[in-house]
């Protein structure tokens, strides 16, 4: 694992591990492409577009910005 990958994963753990799997699932289901049934296959291109839009919406330019994503969906 590269140093950049470790920083990214550490940020995910630090800012998102406090949420349950169901809560994390609900984060993604509040926005497209997963706003409908969870049993359908979502094409990789649509998944990529979704995460690109999340990156833009939360201005995720560095791993530290991941905290803003979690805070944006805090229940």
**How many other C-beta atoms lie within 10 A of the C-beta of residue 60?**
17
Is residue 40 within 8 Å of 47, Cβ to Cβ?
A: no
**How many other C-beta atoms lie within 10 A of the C-beta of residue 14?**
14
Reported pTM: 0.58
pLDDT in tens, 14-51: 888 888 888 887 777 766 655 555 677 888 998 888 88
Q: Determine the Cα–Cα distance for residues 41 and 67; give it in Å rounded to an integer.
A: 28
Q: How many domains, the chain? A: 1
Domain span holding position 9: 3-72
Which of 67, 75, 59, 61 shows the shortest CA–CA distance to 17? 67
């Amino acid at each position: 694992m590269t140093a950049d990958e470790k920083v990214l994963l550490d940020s995910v753990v630090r800012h998102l591990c406090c949420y349950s799997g169901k809560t994390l699932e609900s984060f993604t289901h509040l926005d497209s492409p997963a706003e409908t049934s969870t049993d359908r296959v979502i094409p990789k291109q649509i998944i990529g577009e979704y995460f690109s839009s999340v990156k833009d919406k939360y201005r995720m330019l560095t791993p530290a910005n991941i905290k803003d994503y979690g805070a944006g969906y805090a229940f």
